[in-house]
Amino acid sequence: MNATDAPSAPERQEHPAPHRNRVGRVSIWFGVLGAGIAWNLQELFNITLAGYFCYPHDVPLAEPLWSGLRTTTFVIDALAIVICVAAGLVAFANWRRSRGEKAGDATQLLGNGDGRTRFMAMAGMVASGLFLFATIASLLYIVVGAPCGG
């Protein structure tokens, strides 16, 4: 074996995310972004619907022009909650598959940039929980509040 046959330094180093093949790309990105996108779309649709049916002109109405506004916004919120929970469960499954990705404490892993798959799964769990809380708060307003705020 001569010097040209020996592996180079980058080839001898272990990949910083050795468990990346255990978690699919769609799965990891759905876990990270799914709840945030669901919350954003829920806010976009509900605010647009409420604005259109409660404020058709310069003066807000006491009751919406369309009687199905509350039901529709409730269904949109419920769907967003289902997506937030699904994204959180996917992120948790991703974390379970990659939790032993690298040895060491958090300081070592942060300094080296190791364990990216596990980090993204953990970030997905945190983000999903926060967006789930925000979506439930929006749903509570729809349940107890007046459709047009009046």
Domain coordinates in residue numbering, the chain = 21-37+75-144
pLDDT of residue 147: 81
pTM comes to: 0.82
- Locate 126 and state its tokens: 């945190």
Q: Look at the chain and count its residues.
A: 150
pLDDT of residue 150: 65
Q: Please, where are the H alpha helices in 21-146?
A: 25-54, 69-98, 106-112, 116-144
pLDDT of residue 112: 54
Q: Which residue type occupies 101?
A: E
Using CB atoms within 10 Å of the CB of residue 103, give its burial: 0 to 12 exposed, 13 to 18 middle, 19+ buried: exposed
pLDDT of residue 48: 94
With beta carbons less than 8 A apart as the criterion, state whether 98 and 37 touch: no
Each of the 150 residues of the chain gets a pLDDT tens digit; together they read 555 666 665 565 565 555 566 788 999 999 999 999 999 999 999 999 999 999 888 888 889 999 999 999 999 999 999 999 999 999 999 989 887 766 655 555 555 556 778 888 889 999 999 999 999 999 999 899 888 876
CA distances (Å), origin 94, targets 3, 34, 66, 119, 120: 41, 14, 43, 10, 9
pLDDT of residue 90: 98
